[in-house]
């Protein structure tokens, strides 16, 4: 609910080995500090800018992977005012080619219309995931038969930048690089 810290990964999806990523922590109050934990161990204290703080990792290694939580604490005695849900970060070596994301009928639609988001990938045995960037941070797993998500009666909250990424069930299993971001605008 409203009382929890919002935690999300930028860019969303599986983080590429050697790439960079940002973990965002956000809370609706001012005056406190964020403490970031990985696997229950304190990793870093983050000074907020306004209501959010960012933990940037460049040249990501496998040790970056794990479950992250963010606490919002107050004062010297570090009273916990709020905590986040768990953000599970995966780090993998990503391989091309990238899936192609398309938005039908068009990128800019009026509220209440129906939209189809389709992820096209060269490999039929892959499972694809669709991510919405940012705090809303929802991700959807497509049924493997048709990598398409129907959004009926879209609201402005459905708008934003989407990307998709596919998991290829082979030996060894691999993750694709993500598709390019596509912006859905709901007017």
CATH 2.60.40.10 in the chain is located at 6-92, 94-186
Domain 94-186 has CATH 3.40.50.1370: no
Share of the chain above pLDDT 90, in %: 72
Task: Show Cβ contacts of residue 177 under 8 Å, excluding neighbours closer than 6 positions.
Answer: 16, 94, 95, 96, 97, 98, 165
Note the pLDDT tens digit of each residue in 49-61: 889 999 999 999 9
Would you tell me how many other CB atoms lie within 10 Å of the CB of residue 72?
26
Contact 107, 185 (CB under 8 A): yes
Residue range 143-172: mean pLDDT, rounded = 87
3-class DSSP assignment, residue 78: coil
For residues 89 and 13, give the distance between their C-alpha atoms in angstroms, rounded to a whole number.
8
Q: Tell me the pLDDT band of 124, cut-offs 50, 70 and 90.
A: confident
Instruction: Enter the pTM of the model.
Output: 0.88
Q: 11-15, 117-121, 133-137: lowest mean pLDDT where?
A: 133-137
CA distances for 185 relative to 22, 149, 155, 156, 180, angstroms = 24, 16, 10, 8, 16
Token pair, residue 90, equals: 């995966």
Tell me the Ramachandran region of residue 2: left when phi exceeds 0, alpha when psi lies from -120 to 50, beta otherwise: alpha
Instruction: Look at domain 6-92 and name its CATH class.
Output: mainly beta
pLDDT, one tens digit per residue, over 88-101 is 999 999 998 899 99
């Amino acid at each position: 609910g409203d009382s929890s810290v919002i935690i999300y990964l930028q860019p969303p999806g599986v983080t590429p080995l050697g790439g960079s990523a940002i973990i965002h922590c956000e809370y609706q109050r001012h005056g406190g500090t964020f403490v970031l934990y990985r696997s229950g161990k304190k990793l870093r204290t983050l000074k907020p800018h306004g209501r959010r703080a960012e933990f940037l990792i460049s040249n990501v290694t496998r040790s970056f992977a794990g479950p992250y939580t963010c606490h919002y604490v107050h004062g010297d005695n570090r009273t916990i005012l709020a905590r986040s849900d768990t953000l599970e970060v995966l780090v993998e070596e990503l391989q091309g080619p990238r899936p192609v994301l398309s938005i039908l009928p068009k990128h800019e639609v009026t509220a209440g219309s129906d939209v189809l988001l389709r992820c096209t990938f060269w490999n039929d045995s892959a499972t694809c995931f669709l991510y919405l960037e940012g705090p809303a941070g929802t991700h959807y797993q497509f049924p493997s038969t048709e990598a398409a998500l129907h959004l009926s009666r879209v609201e402005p909250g459905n708008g934003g930048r989407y990307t998709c990424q596919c998991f290829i069930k082979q030996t060894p299993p691999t993750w694709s690089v993500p598709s390019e971001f596509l912006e859905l605008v709901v007017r």
